Structure formats: C-alpha cells, structure tokens
Amino acid sequence: MVLGTLEDVFKSEMLFSLSRLSSKSIILFSDQVDLLLLFMDHNSSSMKSVALKCMCFMFRRNICHFPVIRNVFGRLFPLIDDEDFPLDCKSDVLRILQKMLCSKTSSNHRANGSELSKLLLAAESSLDSSCLEVQGTALEILVEIFCILKEVGSDNISVLKGSSFAHAEWQGITNNVPLTEDNSMNGPLCKIIAMIVNHIISLANEVASRDICISSAVDKAYKTPFRLMLKLVSCYPSAAAVTLHILKSLVKELFLINGSDYSEVS
C-alpha cells in the first residue's frame, strides 16, 4: 500500500511513523529497513530522500541488527558513485554507512576486509564532492576504517589496495620519526591527517568568505575534524608528535584566514 498511488506527503508521514516504531523493535527493524530500501528505486527523488532520512533516524544510536548491515551496505554502495543520484541523498547514504560502520553490534561485519576496502574507496571518492558536509562524513568513515584496521589487525595493504592511501609516502615531518610500528601505515596516516587539515581550512574559508554566523551546526562541523584527529592519535599514539606539528601549521593558516597576526604562534 505504501508504494501505491498515495500522495508523497502522506507516504512520507507514514514512513517516518513506521520508522519510529520499528526502531524500537528488533523484530520489526529488519522489515522496515527492507521497505525503505525499496524506495531507492522510486521515481521520486523526494521519496528517496525521505527513505534515507528514515534510515538515518533508525541508525541514529549506532546500533544495527545483523544481517541488516550486510543488506544495506550492498544496496547503498552503488548509489555513492551514481552520477544521477541527488547530492543531498548521497550525503544521507554516507551518513548511514558511517553509522553502521560505528555500530556496536557489527564487530563481525567490521572484520570483512573486502567490504572495508569498498567503503574506503567510496569515502575517498566522496572527498571530491563540492559539498563540505559530504566531505566531512567521508572523513569520519576513513578515520573509523583506520581505527578498525588497528583494532582487528587486518591486512592493511589489502584493504588500502586501489586507493591513493596504498601509494602514500611517508615524508618524515619530524626527524623521520615513524607514526606507527607498522611501516605500511606511516604514509596513509600522514595522508589522512593532511586531508583532515585541508577540510578544516576549507570550512574556515567558507565561513570567512560568506560571513556566516557561527550556528550550532557550523560549530559542530568545526569541532568534528579535530575530534577525528584526536581519535586517530588515540588509536596510533606514536602519531601524536606529527599531528601536533601539523596542528601548529594549521593554527598559522587559520590566523591568516582570519586576517590576524600569527607572529606569536611558535
């Protein structure tokens, strides 16, 4: 009935109501997710967006019910590279994947190197998006993957294969001190830290150029990248010195963007 000829407004309200109810039930959770996934083939972009926002709501607590995770991953992956898929919908897709990746009940799924590799490639390609929100979510996914690699001891080279991280070189910013005991991760770690810094600079430039009021949403967008760096350092403590060195350069860059004197930053 939901996929019939009812008006989109009514269908949207119905989907939100069903999702709120199903999110509280292990029994209904899977069926509701399957229903929402059907809307990915719907002709209406607005209904696709509603379905994705419903899934975001259902996964909001980073709790997923296996094997729902595998079904959603398989269905949403291709949409990230679909040029005809709306940008705002891609943002929701990435957010859903990020929430499932952080899921407290997906430890078995997280150890799947093949799917981690696919997700890493999808997130990396999303860094080229013109939307800063999409870029931010992609960075959250990448950092989570790096932490998972450290936690489960996966074959890092295999997971990183095909991405630019596989060819990232370690340049020894601070007296060639390695970031980690695993030499294969030195270059990738340096690269992702640089990506986070570039994202922070992009956020700062946008605020400066548009004279945007610092709302709670903008404030959160600023804080998240710094939390990502802290999370990386927590997983890779030996990367702390390099991260601090990069942060020093970042502070100077932010002072320049703000038009302030940074001569005292040392």
The pLDDT of residue 172 is 45
> Per-residue pLDDT tens for 117-170?
888 888 888 888 888 888 999 999 999 988 888 877 656 667 777 777 776 665
Say if residues 39 and 47 touch (Cβ distance below 8 Å): yes
Q: Is 174 part of any domain?
A: yes
Number of compact structural domains in the chain = 1
Q: Is 77 part of any domain?
A: no
Structure-block tokens of residue 179: 């970031």
Better pLDDT: 117 or 218: 117
Say if residues 199 and 132 touch (Cβ distance below 8 Å): yes
> Per-residue pLDDT tens for 36-59?
999 888 777 888 889 999 998 888
The pLDDT of residue 211 is 62
Q: Is 252 part of any domain?
A: yes
Q: Is 181 part of any domain?
A: yes
Q: Is 256 part of any domain?
A: yes
Indicate if the pLDDT at residue 174 is higher than 50. no
Dihedral in degrees, nearest 10, Cα atoms 97, 98, 104, 108: 50
- Reference 97, options 81, 114, 80, 83; nearest CA is 80
Least confident span in 134-148, 167-181, 226-240: 167-181
> Per-residue pLDDT tens for 184-215?
667 788 888 888 988 888 888 887 776 656 66
Structure-block tokens of residue 135: 């870029």
Q: How confident is the model at residue 178 (pLDDT cuts 50, 70, 90)?
A: very low
Cα Rg for the chain, rounded, in angstroms? 20
Q: Is 243 part of any domain?
A: yes
The pLDDT of residue 10 is 85
The pLDDT of residue 140 is 92
Rounded distance between C-alpha atoms, residue 251 and residue 206, angstroms: 17
- DSSP 3-state assignment of 240? helix
Least confident span in 5-14, 58-67, 158-167: 58-67
Rounded distance between C-alpha atoms, residue 175 and residue 181, angstroms: 16
Q: How confident is the model at residue 1 (pLDDT cuts 50, 70, 90)?
A: very low
Kindly provide the b/e burial profile for residues 33-52, where b requires at least 16 CB atoms within 10 angstroms of the residue's own CB.
Answer: bebbbebbeeeeeebbbbbb
Better pLDDT: 66 or 25: 25
Q: How confident is the model at residue 15 (pLDDT cuts 50, 70, 90)?
A: very high
Structure-block tokens of residue 210: 């548009």
Q: Domain range for residue 186?
A: 155-266
Dihedral in degrees, nearest 10, Cα atoms 34, 35, 39, 40: 0
Rounded distance between C-alpha atoms, residue 62 and residue 260, angstroms: 40
3, amino acid identity: L
CB atoms within 10 A of CB 84: 6
**% of the chain exceeding 90 in pLDDT:** 11
Q: Is 213 part of any domain?
A: yes
Say if residues 179 and 170 touch (Cβ distance below 8 Å): yes
Say if residues 159 and 113 touch (Cβ distance below 8 Å): yes
Better pLDDT: 102 or 106: 102
20, amino acid identity: R
Q: Taking residues 171-189, report their average pLDDT.
A: 55
CB atoms within 10 A of CB 160: 25
The pLDDT of residue 67 is 62
- Reference 34, options 59, 51, 57, 9; nearest CA is 51
Q: Is 126 part of any domain?
A: no
